[in-house]
Amino acid sequence: RESNEDSNSAKKLFEWADGPLILSMQEGSYFMADEISLAEDSVLERLNCILEPERTVLLAEKGGVGESDNPAEIAKDFVVQAKEGFQFLATMNPGGDFGKKELSPALRNRFTEIWCLPSDTKEDLIQIASNCMLESAQMASNTSKEEITKIASYLVEVVLYMRDVVEKFRYSIRDILAWANYIASNAHLTFAEKAIFGLETIFLDALELLPHESLVKVELLRRQIVEFAIKEAALILNEKFTFDDLTEKRGTEVVHTFEKFGIKPFFISTNSDSNIGASKNFLFEAPTTKQNLFRLLSALSLRKPILLEGPPGVGK
């Protein structure tokens, strides 16, 4: 690089820069190590000295020489001691969770361990779901707080019912939040559409992956859950609709115009005449392809990444 200064710093190809942990120690602020059990053993070993009462760390990797000839000053360049206020926080999943490893006893003894229980009571889940929908400006402006609480109660009732009737059914708070976000982001749809189509996108489509279950049994299970959701909508929200109503609301034709593309009621905007010609290279009328396209368009309602999963050669 060009430099007008003839100094050692101008000739350096690489220069040491303190990372987040060292900066937190120097500033006396909080530092959080998420999923600490996934770190390499050599990294975890270096944390022991930071978690001791002295809270110091030797930066052997810094290399170079100190700016002073005084040994005490040189030590300050390579040894960092945490200022008052520094706090080390860490999170981890249990060791038996999908091959996750445990921390060593020596490292665990240096922490105050707090076991976080899941918020799986009905009251907690309702509050979490309602708060999620209240954060949606569009939904909060058009729906009262009491009505949002009823919708949250409806979502939780259906999820807890699925837990009882589907063997090996696992759900997390993220799933309930995803369904709540689906309802909040599809304000232009009727409640029947956004509730049931959201239920299918978040939960029911995954039933096909259940091991040792035939397609016939999975379809019967889907129908049973949807009928329960329809019944609960009438009881809790006074929203009355039938299974046949949902079939009518689900489009059967792929629509592709100069302005939009999709299957009723899910469309994406198009802004180019060339898209009409390009679409002729794709065949969407095959039943399985059309079903997958509908699922994809429905999933686009959520602000989440989409993962297409399937065996090789199916055309993902």
- pLDDT at residue 4 is higher than 80: no
Inter-axis angle of helices 215-237 and 191-202, to 10 degrees? 140
> Of the ranges 67-76, 173-182, 200-209, 237-246, which one carries the lowest mean pLDDT score?
67-76
- Going by pLDDT thresholds of 50, 70 and 90, the confidence category of residue 14 is confident
- Going by pLDDT thresholds of 50, 70 and 90, the confidence category of residue 226 is very high
- Going by pLDDT thresholds of 50, 70 and 90, the confidence category of residue 282 is confident
CB 55 within 8 A of CB 81: yes
- Going by pLDDT thresholds of 50, 70 and 90, the confidence category of residue 252 is confident
Share of the chain above pLDDT 90, in %: 46
Burial class (CB in 10 A: 0-12, 13-18, 19+), 119: exposed
| β 254-256/260-263 pair status | antiparallel
- Please give the average per-residue pLDDT across 106-114, as a whole number: 92
Beta bridge partners of 269: 260
pLDDT digits 0-9 by tens, 119-178: 888 999 999 999 999 888 667 677 888 999 999 999 999 999 999 998 878 888 999 999
Calculate the alpha carbon distances from 139 to 68, 172, 185, 187 in Å. 63, 23, 8, 7
The span from the CA of 210 to the CA of 218, in Å, is 8
- pLDDT at residue 69 is higher than 90: no
The pLDDT score that the predictor gives to residue 148 is 93
The pLDDT score that the predictor gives to residue 24 is 96
pTM: 0.78
